[in-house]
Amino acid sequence: AVMQRNGLSLCMDSPVKSAAKRPLRRVLESDSDEEEAMLTARAEMEPIQDKSLERASSKQVSSAHPLFLTRNPHGASLGSCIPPSTNWSVTGCLSHPCDNGACCYLCWASLAGVLVQANCWETLRTTSAVGPVYWTWWLPIFLWLCDPSSFSKPVVPLDPMEYNPSKSSYHPVQDACWGHGQRVPYLAVARTFERIEEVSARLKNIETLSNLFRSVIALSPSDILPCIYLCLNRLGPAYKGLELGIGETILMKAVAQATGRQLDQIKAEAQEKGDLGLVAESSRSNQRTMFTPPKLSAAGVFSKLQEIARMTGSASMNKKIDIIKGLFVACRHSEARYITRSLGGKLRIGLAEQSVLSAIAHAVSLTPPGQGFPPEVLDAGQGKSAEARKAWLEEQTQILKQTFCELPSYDIIVPILLEHGVESLPQHCKITPGIPLKPMLAQPTKGIGEVLKRFEEAAFTCEYKYDGERAQIHILENGDVHIYSRNQEDNTSKYPDIISRIPKVKKGSVQSCILDAEAVAWDPEKRQIQPFQVLTTRKRKDVEAAEIKVQVCLYAFDILYLNGESLVKEPFSRRRQLLHESFVETEGEFLFATSMDTCSLDEISEFLDQSIKDSCEGLMVKTLEVDATYEIAKRSHKWLKLKKDYLEGVGDTLDLVVIGAYLGKGKRVGMYGGFLMACYDEESEEYQSICKGLACCAWLLGYWHTLPTGPGQGTPQAPLPHTG
C-alpha cells in the first residue's frame, strides 16, 4: 500500500528453488515508450558468483542518484556493502555468525517498540524455516520500513491543463507537462502566456517565463529556439524579413471555417470582445470533433507559421487559410487564443523583448544545459542568499543583453548558450557585418542651456540632424553591401543607388565595416536637401535603378566596425577620425555630417539656425572623449538632440476637431481607442482630416467617457461616428 501510494509496484518472483548462494538484487525498470512510466521494484533470485549486493542499471534512474534508505544507520545506499556483525540475531529465531564474507543488508526501524533485524542472506538461505517464506514476509516489511520518499521515482508528466510555471519552488522536470525527449506541447506555452497575461508584475513574469525555459532546457533543448520566437511573436531575425501577411478579415474567415460558424457571427463577437483571439478560443471550445486530432507542439506551430510566411503566389492565400484551419482544429483550451494573436501580429500579454532576454539568462544560469538526463543541477542558485542570487542573475542577464546588442540573432546566440553557457558569450559572439545592430538613440532637450549644463565638463561636438531615414551600411569582406533600417529591416533592395556608390567612396584599405548614416532625399538641380515626405514616395522594395525618381544622398556620421575590429568601445573622436580616413566625399551622393566643435552658447545658437535653413531638423550634440562610447540599442544622454519642435516657445500649435473615433481593442474594449482629427478649411468650409490622434487619446478618453449622457445634461446624445 505504501508503494502504491508512492507510485511503486512490487513484482514477486517464485520462492527459492536451489541451495545456490544468490544475493538480493533490486532492478529498477521503466518503459520510456509509455506516456506514464512506472518504476518497478523487482526482487529476483539469479545465480551469480559475487555475493555482494548489486544495483542494476536503469534507463530512467541515473547512478548519480542512488536510492538512499534514510533509516539505515550506516547511511549506505542500496548496492553498497555493510560489514557484517560477528553475532547478529533475529530474536527468537536465528543466531548465526556470518563468517563467510557474505554481504548483508541491515535495516533498523522501531515498530511498536520492537527492534527488527534482518540478518545476512546466508542465514536466511540456509534456514529452511525462513528461506521459503522469505518473500512473503521480509521483503514487504523491509520496503515498508524504508522511507518511501527516499526512492527515486519516475517523473510522470502532468496534464498540460495543470501546468503552472508561475508556482513557487518550481521543479523543471517534475512540474513539466511533457517527458524527456518529447516535443514541448504548445499548450505549455499557451499556459505560460495565460499566467503572464494575468499578472502585470515584470519580475514575476520573468520568473514564470524562465521556469518554462528551464523545463525546455532540461527535457527538450532542441525546442528552446521555437519557444523563444513564439514568446517574441517573431518568425526569425528581423533582417530576414519573414512576415505572415495575414489580415484580420482573413483570420476571421479561417476561424469561421474551422469552427463551423458564420462569418458575420465571428465579426460581431470580435467587435463586442475586442479580441479575435478570445472569439477563436470560445468558438473552438464549443466545437466537438469525431476524431481527436494530433496535439500541437511548440515546434510544430512555429514551423507552420514559418510556412505561412514563405508562401507566395496567386493561390497562396487559400493555402494559408488551410494551414490556419488545420491549426485551429487541433487547438485545445487557450491555444486558439494565442495562435490567433500570433497570426494577427500582437500577443497582448505585456511581454517585452528585454524581459524575454532576462528569462533566457535566468533559465540557462539556473538549469545549465548539456547535463544529460536526469540533470544533476536543477537550480544552480540554490544555497545562495537572496541578495547574492539576485546579483548573480543580474550579472548573467547583463552579459546576455550586451551580447544581444552586439549580435542580435537568436539563431546564433542560443546554440552557443546551450553549448558554452552565458559567461562564454563574449568570447564567441561579436559584432559581425551582415547582422544589423540596434542603433544608439539621442535624448531630446528643451534648450541650449540644458546642453551646456549637462556637458559642462566634457568636450562635445554639434552635428546637423538630418530629416531622413536611418541607414546602417554593412560592407562585407567579399564585397557585398547590405543596408538596414533603424528597426533592423533589410533595405538593401530599396536603395540600389547607394549600393552602387559604396565601392567608389570607400578607400582601398577598407575590407569590411559598418557605418551609421542617414539617407536623405536630395534635389540634384537645386543641390539641396528635400523634405522627408519626398523620401517616403520612393518604392519600398525591389527598386530598379532605372525607375528611381527621388535621388538620395547618404550622410555618414559614425563607424562601428572596421576591418575585423569593433569600435563601439572607442571614443567618438576616434571613430569620427577613422570614418574620415576611410571614405571620401562625393557631393549629392556620399557626405559626412556637417559638424562644429564648440562650447559657445552663441555659436551653438547660430549653428542651430543654420541647420534649419539647410532643411535639417536641428542639431545632434555628442561627447567627444569622456563617456563617448557607442551605446548600442540605448537612448543615451551622451547624445542630445536639439530640434525646433523641442525648444520652449518655438513649437507650433494646431486647433483640431474630433470627427471620428476608432473602437478600442484588447484592454480598451468598450471604449474608444483612437480619434480621427481634422482642421477647418475656411475656403471650402469643410473639415479636412489630418491624422489619427493617439497622443491625446488618454485625455480625450478620460474626458469623453466621464461626461454625463442623460437627457438635458448638455452633452451629445449620439456617440461619435466610428470610422474603424
Task: Label residue 236 left, alpha or beta by phi (over 0 means left) and psi (-120 to 50 means alpha).
Answer: left
Q: Containing H/E element for 9?
A: strand 8-12
Residues 6+ apart with CB under 8 A from 359: 206, 207, 209, 210, 213, 231
Helix (H, G, I), strand (E, B) or coil at 244: coil
Cα dihedral across residues 411, 417, 423, 429: positive or negative: negative
CA pair distance 397, 268, nearest whole angstrom: 45
Closest CA to 166 of 219, 204, 214, 218: 204
Q: Active site includes 465?
A: yes
Return the amino acid letter for 156: V
Q: Cell 544581444 sits at which residue?
A: 404
Which residue is catalytic, options 253, 465, 622, 665? 465
Torsion angle of C-alpha atoms 73, 77, 82, 85, degrees rounded to 10: 30
| Residues 125 and 21: beta-carbon distance below 8 Å | yes
Task: Label residue 333 left, alpha or beta by phi (over 0 means left) and psi (-120 to 50 means alpha).
Answer: left
CA pair distance 708, 717, nearest whole angstrom: 10
| DSSP track, 333-393 | TTHHHHHHHHHHT---S---HHHHHHHHHHHHHHS-SS--SS-S-S-TTTTS-HHHHHHHH
Cα dihedral across residues 361, 366, 367, 370: positive or negative: positive
Which residues, listed in sequence order, are joined to residue 44 by a DSSP beta bridge? 25
Strand 39-44 relative to strand 110-111, pairing: unpaired
Maximum pairwise Cα distance, the chain: 120
Report CA Rg, the chain.
Answer: 35
Residues 6+ apart with CB under 8 A from 279: 255, 266, 269, 270, 273, 340
What amino acid positions are annotated as catalytic residues?
465
